[in-house]
Chains A and B, each alone.
Chain A
Amino acid sequence: MNYIPHTPQDQQKMLEAAGLKTPADLFGYLPEEVKLGRDLDLAPGLTEHDLFRHLEGLARKNVLATRGSFLGAGAYHHYSPAVVDTVISRSEFLTAYTPYQPEVSQGTLQAIFEFQTMICELTGMDAANASVYDGSNATVESVLMALNTTNKPRVLISRGVHPHTREVLKTYLAAHDVHLDDVALGEDGRTKLGDVPEDTAAVLLQNPNFLGVIEDVTALTEKAHGAGALSIVSVQDPVSLALLKSPGACGADIAAGEAAPLGLPPSYGGPYVGFMACKKQFLRRLPGRLAGMTVDSSGKRVFCLTLQAREQHIRREKAASNICTNQGLCALAVTAYLALVGPQGLREAALTCLSLAEAFKKKLPAGYKLLFKSPTFHEVAVECPVDPVELNKKLAERGILGGYPLGADYPEFKNGMVFCFTEVNGAAELDNLLGDLKALVPAAAAAQEGARG
């Protein structure tokens, strides 16, 4: 094996030092009944060349859109400059461990500190952590923070929150005595929050919501605060924050979500990178790792992990959270991306998204209807004249990856589909989509009639 550099002579030397003769002697004392005593039943090893070909073959079995992808639904493809991949391919970042030894980890620590700062800037919050697994986990951890902070037993969750995130929340809280109440969406596609009970720990929103609609976060937050509940805003595409009023500016207490759209490819859903940010008074409740500024023995400004007394390796069962690993390399990609695009580039990307979505709304072919009139960012919910799943199959034949059919998650929108537009689409791909949507109305409708007959 090429990764194991031990020659037979090396092996002999190592074994002799331990008073042994053969590699099998290393395990000789294991109880007989637990020894495998055979080879694992796995495919034989491959050379690097054959291995790469095998993986290429698997990758080729996946289908990529050739004339445009309009699928968002929590995973957003934005342009990522070449330098981002150069930075995260750098060995000293790629193959380093968690920066427990600050003397030899200043690179990772300073990058985390810069990441935390940028997340605070985007969200309008005072403090951010070094990242968690993904957007859904960041959102769920925020709810846990609110439950621990308020000691109240109820959480109101907008149906505009990503269905996967709502499901993860239910999984996480199955073991806890907590009421999870769904809050319906109104006819305008916005969260319709009624009276907030006094025993509510938090109101959870997503902005823009899963149907693409921009919520009135300020009004919903005031309502939550009126009942003594915290306001948590989940953001699934932070590019939107270049144009939209930040959660902090709307008065929210915690902002959480997915930072992967900032520099990472769609990656079939992972690894992504969850971010969490909050107002100052909740800082010590933030789970996960935090990098802080300090000085070294000679008075130099340095960075180190801090407030570790909250964490599992010190507190064990009394820890604020069980999180150990963060998404270091993904957070580094986000930091490099934001440094490269800067405030101007991020605004331009966001503005192109918004403009494409507005153009789509204006040119929507006959037979298709907007589900809501409320303002949107880059996702638009549409009522299709035919079954969206069937429509997507036709679009796929033409090299287009269609939107997200809503029927499975929102039965009330059986023919609903959410289309997503980002700056990687451009006007030409939008025209491809509009042309095909128009052309496919009669054909797809006919096919469906046929299937029924």
Chain B
Amino acid sequence: MDRLEPTLFEKSSPGRRGCTPPTGGVALVDPKAVLGDLVREEPPALPELGELQVLRHFMRLSQLNFSIDTNFYPLGSCTMKYNPRVNEQTARLAGFARLHPMQPVEAVQGALELMYDLQNDLQEITGMDGFTLQPAAGAHGEFTALLMAAAYFRDKGEKRTKVVVPDSSHGTNPASAALAGFEVVTIPTNPVGDVDLEQLKAVLNEEVACLMLTNPSTLGLFEQQIVEVARLVHDVGGLLYYDGANMNALLGVARPGDMGFDLVHLNLHKTMSTPHGGGGPGAGPVGARGALVDYLPGPRAGKTRDGFEFYQPSKSIGRVRMFWGNFLVLVRAYTYIRYHGPDGLRQVAEGAVMAANYVRMKVKEYFDMPYDRLCMHEFVLSAKTMKEKKGVRAMDVAKRLLDYGFHAPTVYFPLCVEEALMIEPTETEALETLDAFAEALVKIAHEDVGLVTSAPHNTPVGRADEARAARKPVLRWEEGAQ
């Protein structure tokens, strides 16, 4: 079968090797004599290759990828901004990278100081009273915060079983709520893109633990009634949860804490520029206000007269992962915040919102624009009319953009918009790039239908047969498995 690049296993040749681990002058024992029948009989069938072969394999694979460093990546809700290289350098400092997580606190004072300062910076940026740095990703942060909410109400003797989410919310919101043991109630968005207050009032009662909200919403719109929403939720004794996926739009401009949010998670791999790495690692610190601070996972970094320490919050829900968090991701985020300072962070928000509105104005007359108002850092187009009139779907537009060298926007999300194309340019793209992207979108709107629906044409491979992949899953390489 035709293939782009053989797998490592197909390139393997018995007896080849790419690395000899250090032996350090140790007299080797006979494992069978030491381990008896615990010893492995058959070695794992790992590939056998030379060093250059391995390097070339991965270099060739890398060339099949789009990335921020090579292509504009207007992927809505993902904040694919430039990942500064100084962050990579600071994360590789031996004093961080080689530090063992179980070293005693007196040997890790620099790491604790960084974590303590980062907790404080995130508190100031979001208007919260305390932060945990443990959660490894946004969804992990959501789950953590919901467990805190559950413990908080348990201690108050209140039985609250429901979590409310708008229909525009990220899929992780309801999934995290269900995992934390809550029943999920979904409410619709109103005609201008905000929370439907009447519907919210109808579902709010003393069984509701929490309303999970993204602000700006996934429609790229600032929730104009946020103060009223917070009042309604608090009036029934519920908590307001802030999904920080879209915090990039508000840095230094407005803070979740000042809007009435009680719990917050941030995605450091979005807002604070740590690289996505093809799907991770991320970091999803969680912030809390007031009495909820005591429920944060521990240990947290603290400061004493003599230095820095770890301590356990008094009503902590416990650990949500081993060790202390995705520390080297935290180093990168801290580097980013220290580089920018207060002015710089506000300029990030301004630049992101400016760029999104600029692109929106350039393309809006060629697509449907379900919520046509000043947007925040992203906006949502719809290909509904295009689909009805010409049979061109959002997915076709997305695939055709790949031919122009632009990564596809987020498609078919949020679910409340038909044929959605969600576009987030970020602050780090030059005007020329924004112009070229807008021109490509406009051009695609006028292109021959067949050309668009059969796209992409210039990518390393064509559309993948995903139905076949799911019908008979082949999830590992085996001789003859193609």
Contact = CB atoms under 8 A, between A and B. Distances in A.
Contact of B351 (A4, A131, A324): A4
A245 B31 CA distance: 12
A283 B62 contact: no
8 contacts: A4-B347, A10-B431, A292-B475, A306-B475, A317-B174, A341-B19, A401-B107, A426-B26
A59 B94 contact: yes
A332 to B, nearest CB: 7
B179 interface: yes
Interface stretch (B41-49, B197-205, B286-294, B380-388): B41-49
Interface string B444-474: 0000000000101001111111101110011
Contact of A58 (B8, B19, B95, B340): B95
Contacts of A373: none
Nearest to A208: B38
Given A55-B90, A71-B102, A306-B466, A243 B277 contact: no
A337 B8 CA distance: 12
A136 interface: yes
Given A101-B408, A110-B5, A265 B98 contact: yes
B323 A327 contact: no
Contact of A175 (B8, B180, B350): B180
A103 B39 contact: no
Contact of B100 (A243, A295, A393, A401): A401
B110 A62 contact: yes
Residue among A93, A246, A258 with most chain B CB within 10 A: A93
Most B CB atoms within 10 A — which of A133, A307, A359, A427?
A133
B67 A95 contact: yes
A119 B4 CA distance: 23
Interface in A38-54: 39-46, 48, 51-52, 54
A244 interface: yes
B2 interface: yes
B331 interface: yes
A348 B20 contact: yes
Nearest to B35: A375
Contacts of A13: 358, 431
Q: Which residue, B137, B278, B348, B474, has most C-beta atoms of chain A within 10 A? A: B278
Contacts of B280: 131, 271, 325-330
A39 B113 contact: no
B436 interface: no
A59 B275 CA distance: 21
A62 B276 contact: no
Nearest to B433: A5
Contacts of B361: 17-18
A266 B98 contact: yes
Interface string B48-90: 1101001101110111111111110101001011111010111
Given A268-B101, A343-B45, A40 B346 contact: yes
A316 B415 CA distance: 11
